[in-house]
Structure 1
Amino acid sequence: MAKKIFSPIDGGTLEGIARILGNTEYGLTGTELSRFIPEAGLNDIDPTNTKWKRLFNSFINYQNQNKNSNLILKFINITMKPSRFIGESERFEFMRGELNKRLSFIGLTLNEAGVFNPIDTSKTIREAEQRVNRFKSKLENRNIHSKIYEYCNTELIAENYFHSVFEAVKSIFEEIRRKSNLTLDGGELIDKVFSVSNPILKINKLQSGTDISEQKGFANLLKGVFGMFRNTTAHASKIVWNIDEDEALDIMTTVSLIHKKIEKSVTTAN
């Protein structure tokens, strides 16, 4: 079977890939570039330049000579092998996500095994970002309250379910404190703010038995969320307390409902 020849990658996409792989904070080291550039069959034509420019020039030199991107993709495969990131899964997923935003413009995605899969080519930045960040896209489809994005946008971008849940649940109590002007936390805060006899915040008019039951039920829901999710995520490592995407989506939907209730709640005149 003839080896597939991949078309050259446009300069802008190629620069974006080089900037990610050569990033000073999370990318490859200079020593790694010296190792992996020749291992991929590329020429290290500018070894004294900054990392991303060194890599970009190597890429461009190859494409100009060979009129394809095969060894550039091989370089990505070599450097993004999952086995290289044992103990650094967050770094791997972040780099993979950022690379996939660029790769989507040439109809490729790098899967969790570090292997390329074909996809429909992205045409816009929004399309590329939404394609990569499935979790955030699914939350948007559920009409999640905007406060969640304010408190945990970084974690959502990285698709870090554990910390997304932690920050989202924390946001509930930050909003309650902000709206009630109290500095309490946990059950003490909930009891004080959503009391039925002397409330600071009311989620309804508190005039009927049904209203009172709803206010009490909401307070109990808050305590349950605090105990099950905030306390757990604050004290357990994400290795011990694992959250998958479906669970995270369900938790975020509950947090969103709570935020919508808090937003509509009325401050008493007390």
Structure 2
Amino acid sequence: MHRSMEHTFSQSELEAIASALGDTTEGLTNTEIGHILATLKMADPSPNMTKWKRLHNAFVERQNFSQNRRAILEFIRQSMKPERYVKAPERFERIRTNLNRAIAFSGLAVDVTGKVIAVARAETLTEAQCRADELRADLTRRGVHADVLRFCNAELVADNYYHAVLEATKSIADKLRGKSGLTDDGAKLVDATLCGSAPRLAINDGITESQRSEQSGFANLIKGTFGMFRNPTAHEARILWSMSKEDAEDLLSLASLIHRRLDAAR
């Protein structure tokens, strides 16, 4: 067994993990907690307590018994399986953000696929987390779409804000595919969903010349957004692109506008 699995969490680390996963508003439900504990055959010594205390007691009892943290790491993996959040993907990102803040001091993180990975151990509240929180707060004040806010996390803004914008751009393509049932990508996807005399997705009635121009302009806007961030040249030049928070906020607001128009598309 890998040595890191044999370590134990400190009591403060266990409390932080339990508090993140059992958060009153953004954590697991009592039903989810009970199901995962049962799946892992972990004792549930205080099922009637508040969620975080329930988890804390379960974690402490299991770690004291096994003298390692394997079961607790497996609980984290089970709770962060992306397929659990298909109906509410924004919930996955909120829980992951809280959990990563808690386990950063253990030298761990949950990545965007739900896997637990080793990272440099945090000694203080990380600069990246502060930047992510600040970005999220600014965008929340702007009323930015929830499908964009989930990309404002420490992992994506660790170097600069480029990756947050890139991932938000990818989410636009995901929404186009989800609403159209197509599997294309990039400009081809935009052409297949938003272009033509009878577009698969229409943002207006398409009766007047102005409406048809708006539809065409919207398609071109998305194509331009894709071309700016997703083509190979942009990826190769990424190291030279130091994006400011102000630029990121404006570009994420643009992604928010696109998401809202797609939500209302017929």
Within the candidate set 139, 151, 158, 1:159 is matched to 151
Q: 1:134 to 1:46 in 2, by over 3 A?
A: closer
Gaps of 5+ in 2: 153-163, 169-213, 231-237, 251-266
In structure 2, the partner of 1:253 is 247
Query: Which residue of the partner structure matches residue 36 of structure 1?
Result: 36
Closer, same or farther: CA 150–20 of 1 in aligned 2, 3 Å: closer
Deviates more, 1:34-43 or 1:55-64: 34-43
Counterpart of 1:111 in structure 2: which amino acid?
D
Cα distance in 1 between the residues matched to 2:143 and 2:72: 32
1:83 aligns with 2:75: no
Q: CA deviation at 1:126?
A: 3.4
From the superposition, tell whether residues 251 and 11 of structure 1 become closer, same or farther in structure 2 (CA, over 3 Å).
closer
Equivalent position amino acid for 2:151 in 1: E
The C-alpha deviation readout for 1:177-228, integer Å capped at 9, x for no partner, is: xxxxxxxxxxxxxxxxxxxxxxxxxxxxxxxxxxxxxxxxxxxxxxxxxxx9
Partner Cα separation in structure 2 for residue 254 and residue 101 of structure 1? 22
Q: Report the AA paired with residue 82 of structure 1.
A: P
- Segments of 5+ residues of structure 1 without an aligned counterpart are 138-146, 166-227, 233-237, 257-270
Identity %: 28
Listed one character per residue, the Cα deviations across residues 134-160 of structure 1 (whole Å, up to 9, x for unaligned) are 9949xxxxxxxxx95794599898535
Partners of 1:81 and 1:150 in 2: how far apart? 26
Q: Are the aligned partners of 2:135 and 2:249 in contact in 1 as well (CA < 8 Å)? A: no
Q: How is 1:163-174 mapped onto 2 (pairs within 5 angstroms)?
A: none
Does the Cα contact within 8 Å between 2:109 and 2:118 map onto a contact in 1?
Answer: yes
C-alpha contact 1:18 1:56 (8 A) present in aligned 2: yes
Alignment of 1:58-137 (within 5 A): 58-127=58-127, 129-130=129-130, 133=132, 136=135
Deviation digits for residues 4-54 of structure 1 (CA, Å, limit 9, x no counterpart) = 433111222211211121123222222222211121232111112111101
Moved more, 74-83 or 13-22: 13-22
- Closer/same/farther in 2, CA of residues 43 and 134 from structure 1, 3 Å limit: same
> How much does 1:130 deviate?
4.6
SS in 2 for 1:117: strand
Q: For residue 247 of structure 2, give the secondary structure of its aligned residue in structure 1.
A: helix
- After superposition, the Cα gap between the structure-2 partners of 1:110 and 1:135, relative to the gap in structure 1 and judged at 3 Å, is farther
* Distance in structure 1 (CA, Å) of the matches to 2:80 and 2:8: 20
**Per-residue displacement from partner, 1:31-89 (whole Å, max 9, x unpaired)?**
22221112123211111211110110000111122221110010010011000001312
Aligned residues: 172
Q: What code does the residue aligned with 2:63 have?
A: Q
Q: Which of the pair has more CA radius of gyration?
A: 1
